[in-house]
């Protein structure tokens, strides 16, 4: 049984836990979400579930049909490309704003986030897949740090939602590209410290594009052509 943090609102805490469980593959794509089973697992009321699940529908992580109920969103190469395009659009815009406004504290947050990500990537490169979830959490934290000084809560919230959907694909398909990806993160950090948004935007295009190319080349999605 999962015990919700007492400091969280029940509904908000449930939304976050369900979201993480879907993103990190504890609920498989296309699997049914049965209310009674979820109620027992998360130790919440049916009413609380009915409040949390529609939020995940809005997040794009769950689908609902009146005749079928709730189920985890399926995955496809087409959707991955669409999500990637949207992530690139949002993140490039946020980078321009963040790099222009970010100060010393922002630079420190980027360095700290990169340090944690780099440590996990070193372990992944050594073949240690036990840290794959931590690796992706720190990847998310690093990209969030890059844009954290953009000054727009709405932009950050939109990016969070689309990044979570992109992250789910990375987790499910274990899209670790090795040293190439690590080098790209190093280059993004250097661009951030130089406040060079143009360079970072070009690097981001390469970074996200390489993820898609890797997926197609390795046949990780059936409709990847």
User: Residues with Cβ < 8 Å from 23, sequence gap 6 or more?
Assistant: 61, 164, 167, 168, 171
Q: Which of 141, 147, 162 is nearest to 58 (CA)?
A: 162
* pLDDT given for residue 223 in this prediction: 54
User: Residues with Cβ < 8 Å from 87, sequence gap 6 or more?
Assistant: 159, 162, 163, 166, 208
pLDDT tens digits, one per residue of 35-62: 999 999 999 999 999 999 999 999 999 9
**pLDDT higher than threshold 70 for residue 197:** yes
Fold agreement (10-72, 77-217): no
Q: Percent of the chain beyond pLDDT 70?
A: 92
Cα 178 to Cα 25, 103, 187, 216, distances in angstroms: 21, 31, 15, 16
pLDDT tens digits, one per residue of 67-97: 889 999 999 989 999 999 999 999 999 999 9
pTM comes to 0.88
By mean pLDDT, which of 66-70, 77-81, 100-104, 214-218 is the weakest? Answer: 214-218
Which residue do the tokens 């372990």 mark? 123
User: CA 123, 120, 204 angle in degrees (round to 5)?
Assistant: 120
Q: Nearest 10 degrees: CA dihedral of 136, 210, 28, 30?
A: 140
User: Residues with Cβ < 8 Å from 175, sequence gap 6 or more?
Assistant: 169, 211, 214, 215, 220
CATH superfamily of 77-217: GntR ligand-binding domain-like (1.20.120.530)
Measured distance CA(119)–CA(107) in Å, rounded:
19
Q: Is 34 helix (H, G, I), strand (E, B) or coil?
A: coil
> Domain segments of the chain: what residues?
10-72, 77-217
Q: Which of 26, 6, 17 is nearest to 49 (CA)?
A: 17
Check if the beta carbon of residue 126 is closer than 8 Å to that of residue 178. no
Q: Where does the pLDDT of residue 110 fall: very low under 50, low under 70, confident under 90, or very high at 90 and above?
A: very high
**pLDDT higher than threshold 80 for residue 174:** no
Structure tokens at 225: 């052509």
Measured distance CA(147)–CA(188) in Å, rounded:
12
* pLDDT given for residue 6 in this prediction: 45
CATH code reported for the domain at 10-72: 1.10.10.10
Alpha helices (H) in the chain, listed in sequence order: 10-23, 35-42, 46-58, 77-101, 104-125, 132-147, 153-173, 179-193, 197-217
């Amino acid at each position: 049984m999962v015990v919700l943090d007492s400091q969280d609102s029940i509904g908000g805490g449930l939304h976050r836990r369900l979201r993480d469980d879907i993103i990190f593959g504890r609920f498989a794509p296309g699997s049914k979400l049965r209310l009674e089973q979820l109620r027992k697992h998360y130790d919440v009321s049916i009413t609380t579930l009915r409040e949390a699940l529609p939020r995940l529908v809005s997040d794009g992580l769950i689908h609902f049909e009146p005749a079928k109920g709730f189920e985890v969103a399926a995955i496809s190469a087409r959707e991955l490309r669409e999500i990637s395009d949207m992530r690139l659009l949002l993140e490039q815009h946020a980078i321009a704003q963040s790099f222009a406004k970010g100060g010393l504290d922002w630079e420190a947050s980027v360095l700290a986030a990169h340090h944690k990500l780099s440590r996990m990537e070193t372990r992944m490169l050594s073949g240690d897949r036990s840290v794959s979830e931590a690796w992706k959490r720190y990847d998310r934290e690093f990209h969030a740090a890059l844009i954290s000084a953009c000054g727009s809560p709405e932009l950050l919230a939109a990016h969070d939602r689309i990044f979570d959907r992109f992250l789910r694909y990375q987790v499910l398909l274990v899209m670790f590209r090795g040293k190439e990806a690590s080098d790209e993160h190093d280059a993004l950090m250097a661009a951030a410290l130089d406040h060079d948004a143009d360079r970072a935007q070009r690097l981001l295009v390469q970074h996200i594009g390489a993820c898609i190319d890797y997926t197609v080349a390795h046949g990780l999605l059936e409709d990847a052509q």
